[in-house]
Amino acid sequence: MHLAGKRAIITGSTSGIGLGIARSLAGIGADLVINSFTDTDQDHALAAELAAEFGVQVDYVCADMSDAQQCRDLIRTQPRCDILINNAGIQYVAPIDEFPIDKWNAIIAINMNSAFHTAAVAVPMMRAQGWGRIINIASAHGLTASPYKSAYVAAKHGVVGMTKTIALETAQDPITCNAICPGYVLTPLVEAQIPDTMAKYDMSREDVIKKVMLERQPSREFATVEQLGGTCGFLCSDAAAQITGTTISVDGGWTAL
């Protein structure tokens, strides 16, 4: 329980990878702030369920990560921020000449700019507290590209670059900043891409998963939210105190190709 007494703020954490990370960190004692932009009864019930299951304090805070002020207020209104996980993200797929401007702006705002706004507020809080961990959930697409994902690839490469800069600015503080680069993980974000791809290639669901998605992933297996949660737990441990400004790929070998 090495995170007892630490407060972890995880953006976009009512589903998928963010929820998996929340569960992993609660499992090693962290109090949580979970977030989405929906503010439903289920969101508040989820916070209560996690608190009961893990015996930690869990607050749900509604904030839209496409809005600079709401990103900053999410952190500013907390009594402390020991661990910041920038996870919220969306996807949209289209050729560059057909890519809708509003989709480009939303992806850059949610997937990249939000991490700037939250970190800008969190770093001084972490300095004052004398400890901090910033973990940005980038992607294999922060290190490589795919066609039709111009906004996503641009945002994730931007996050990787920003991670290095934050690490240099905090190198002499007891703060680290790293990016995790997952390959494919079967979450609602990926599920949503399957029907379109089935229609586009006239393929079964199984073939889309094996022949299109996992074709890039040499292990031919999805990474899991538990594996990503475990990687975050490691980055929050003392063993990782000198790991900063880098990327950790959890991608079944994708970026080794």
Residue 184 binding ligand NAD, by CB under 6 A: yes
| 227 three-state secondary structure | helix
Residue 158 binding ligand NAD, by CB under 6 A: no
Distances (CA, A) of 231 to 24, 58, 133, 207, 248: 9, 21, 13, 29, 8
Question: Based on CB atoms, which residue is closest to ligand NAD, 45 or 168?
Answer: 45
Q: How far is the CB of 209 from ligand NAD (least distance, A)?
A: 12
∠ Cα 113 118 122 (to 5°): 150
- β-bridge mates for residue 36, sequence order: 62
The verdict on whether 152 is a catalytic residue reads yes
Q: Distance (Å, rounded) from C-alpha 24 to C-alpha 47?
A: 14
Max distance between CA atoms of the chain, in angstroms, equals 56
Q: Distance (Å, rounded) from C-alpha 103 to C-alpha 254?
A: 26
Question: Based on CB atoms, which residue is closest to ligand NAD, 37 or 99?
Answer: 37
Residue 209 binding ligand NAD, by CB under 6 A: no
Which 49-88 residues touch ligand NAD, going by CB under 6 A? 64-66, 87-88
Q: How far is the CB of 156 from ligand NAD (least distance, A)?
A: 7
Choose one: 50-58, 163-171, 188-196, 202-210; the region binding ligand NAD (CB under 6 A).
188-196
Choose one: 32-40, 46-54, 94-102, 165-173; the region binding ligand NAD (CB under 6 A).
32-40
**First vs last C-alpha separation in the chain:** 37
Residues at the interface with ligand NAD (CB under 6 A): 11-18, 35-37, 64-66, 87-90, 110-111, 137, 139, 182, 184-185, 187-190
Active site residues: 152
